[in-house]
Structure formats: C-alpha cells, structure tokens
Amino acid sequence: MHGRENWSSHMAFVMAAAASAVGLGNLWRFPYLAAKYGGGIFLLTYAVLAATLGFTLLVVETAVGRRTRLSPPAAYRSLSPKWQGIGWLGIAAPAIVLCYYNAVGGWTVKYLAVYAERVFRGGEALDAVKSGELFGGFISGGSYAPLACGAIFAGCTAALVLAGVKKGIERSSKILMPILLALCVAVSCISLSQPGAAEGLEYYLRPDFSAFSWKTVVWAMGQMFFSLSISLGIMITYGSYMRKDDSICRSVLRIEMFDGAVAFLAGLMIIPPTYAFLGPEGVQSQGPGLMFIALPAVFSRMTLFGAEIGDIAGLMFFALAFFAALTSCVSTMETVTSSLRDCTGMRRAPAGTVVAAVMGAALVPISLCYVKDGFFSGDILPGMPLLDFMDFAANNLLMPACGFLTCIFIGWIVGPEWVISETEADGSRFRFRRLFSFTLKYAAPIAIAGIALAYTLKQLDWISM
C-alpha cells in the first residue's frame, strides 16, 4: 500500500474540493436549468436541497475517506467485504465521466482559441446562425479538430495529476480558484451592465411560487448531485488526504459556499443578458445548447460605454469554462488514479500513466462520435451517440445507484453514529444529529430513488420534463 499524502492545510482541502465541485455543471447546466424551471424559485429550491441533502451526503463521503484513508473500492472493502460493490460503483462512474469530460473540455479549448483569435484579429459577429454553424461544424464536420482539442485538454489534466497532491492538485487549485472567482465576477459585471439586463436579473432572483412544481425539485436535486460531485468517489478520495485535526463539517460548508457562489454567479453571467437579448421565451428554450450556441450570439451584442466588448467577454467566459472543466477533470482523474494505486500498490507515476493512456484511447471514439457518417457515429441507444450514452449511464444510472446504496449501507448497516464520531475527531461537536440521521436514513435514499425513476421515465419518453 502506498503512503497516503496529506493536504498541507485545512484551506488546501477546501480549495481543492471546491475546485473539483466547480465545473461545467455550474457554468453550463445550472444556468439553463434555472432559466427553464422558474429562475428564482429554482434558485431557492436548489439552495434548500444543497443545505440539507447535499450537506449530509458530502459529510458522509468525506468521513468515509478520512476514516479509512483509502479510495472508494478499498474503503468500502475495509468496512465490509459484502458491500464493497458500492466502492466499485463509486469508481465506475468517475471512470466513465473522465473519458467523456475530456472531449467536452476540448470544446472549451476550441472556443477559447476562437475568441482569442477574434480578440487579436477581429472577425464578423457571431449571430445565432453563425454560432450554431461554428459548433455544428466543429463536432460533426469530419475533421480531427475535436480529437486534437480534447487531447490538449487531457494532457493538461494528466500533467496536474501526475505532479501529485501538493505540487499538482493543491497548488493548481490555489491558483485556479481565485482566477475562477475573479473571472466570474468580471463577466457578471459586464453581463449586468447590458441594456435590459435588469428584467432578466429580476426573473433570476425573484421566486415565482406559481412556477414551482415537482419538476423543479427533480431537476434541482439532479443538479445538486451533478454540481457537488456526489457519488463520484471524489470526496472519499480527497477526504482520505484530510488531516484528523481539520473539521469535516466546516470544510463541507465552505465547499458548498464556494460551489454555490460560482453557480449563482454563472446565472448572473448568463441569464440577465440572454433574457435581455432573446426575451423570456428565448432564455427558457435554449437548453443544453445555451453555452456553445446561444451565448456566442449574446456576446456578439454586448457593449460597454458604447464600445463592442463581445469578443473580450467571450474570451473571459471560455477561459473560465476551461479552468472550471480542468479542475473537475483533475479531481475525477485523481479518484481513478488513487483507486488504481490502492488496488494494485502502484506508484503515482505508473498508475497515472495507465489512466492517461486509457483516457487517450477512449478520447478517439468519444470526440468523433458526432461526425456525420463517421466511423464512430451512430446511436448506442435511440437518440444517444456514444458521449450522450456515457453521460446517461454515469449520471442517471451509476451515480444514483451508488448514492442510494451508500445511504442504505452507512445509514442502516454501519450507522450514522459512525460518521458523527469521525466528524468529532477534531474535538468539535456535531450539531443537528437527529436531522442528519433522518436525512441519511430516509430523506436522501427516497430522493435519490425519485431522481433515478424520473430520469429513466423521461428517457423512455413516458413523462415530459
């Protein structure tokens, strides 16, 4: 068994874990879901769920990691060999996410390059048609550009993980998180300065209780899992590097505050200007294409003090998207690498190299799966090319299964007191014991089962969401 590295400080753990949580889920998924499902009421629902269910599950995973000092498969095996399957589920999901996240990260590389060129060389404004043509031509045009951009992104990810916990992950988090927050604030200020943005801001912030429905809860809960990296094994892995004298509860609260702040700022960056330029129906109908198709068209119409600043805003936003995707992908690769090390006894360099090689091999079919009539094109399931299928398998099947079984195992077999005692190892007192136990044993598993059922029925076209 390899020696376990430690974070150098409490804030190092918080910054690294927060950087892991802050990803494209905040910048891309959160704004379009908030726009579609009621704005302010979605924001309020998400905040309540994150403070209850999200907090409980993050505390559980962090406690499992610190108590066992192991990555997911080995951690659950040490607790009970009969339940070690949870650990393998906990590593299967991040392994799948890691493979396709590099492809999506490659998209941010492409747009970063596009806007960098536009800032220095200029070019015709990207309206809705041209931005759609840019994205469609990039992913399905038949060139190897998606593979090349994905390889650049994957190379950055591998370099940081191979550098180690302190020199790679911790050091990069201390640099990237302040940059992320600064870019978020800067782009938000530009967005809010646009004519008509005030109406979009009101839509985003004012809860409209008439827009509340079960769909709001389901999507907010799904976003919470996606955004906070719950059931991906990441918090178990990062928790295993945590020192005993650091407070788990205080750390989780700070992680949620960082993650929530970036998600909130992402909404400020995107919803008010999109609302201003595309109107209420336009902002609600964008869906997943919001980031790569609608936003470039919005940026092209941005001005500040009479000057056109769309290209600068676009460059800043996609730099932000690149860094956010990178920090998330680093944590996912670290989880897979750490698990491989615990299971085989390999050192970091060879284990990381093996994982990087698998990433590179998987990147080829995934990055080229949208190429029209290409070798890797075609649906795995109806309406699901390879990347979409992998996203569905990880987020709709493996993560809910892992989260549900974790609640059953820790809540009913091991017992909530096991987690509570670990949170008090630093000498602090765990408050809200009864609420924590109730959430872990009852509320969380029911909620997770509800999410999985709703997503599955939606995928089968049995319900509309």
Average pLDDT rounded to a whole number, residues 154-167: 92
The mean of the pLDDT values for the chain is 89
The tens digit of pLDDT for each residue in 35-53 reads 888 888 999 999 999 999 9
CA 16, 29, 404, 383 dihedral sign is negative
Q: Which CATH architecture has domain 10-459?
A: Orthogonal Bundle (1.10)
Q: What is the reported pLDDT for 1?
A: 47
Residue that wins the pLDDT comparison between 158 and 36: 158
Look at residue 452 and tell me whether its pLDDT is greater than 90. Answer: no
- How far apart are alpha carbons 415 and 434 in whole angstroms? 12
Residue that wins the pLDDT comparison between 28 and 158: 158
The tens digit of pLDDT for each residue in 339-383 reads 999 999 999 999 999 999 999 999 999 999 999 888 999 989 888
Please, is 166 exposed, middle or buried when counting C-beta atoms within 10 Å of its C-beta (0-12, 13-18, 19+)? middle
In the numeric block, the tokens 């299967």 are attached to: 92
Look at residue 170 and tell me whether its pLDDT is greater than 80. Answer: yes
- How far apart are alpha carbons 141 and 409 in whole angstroms? 48
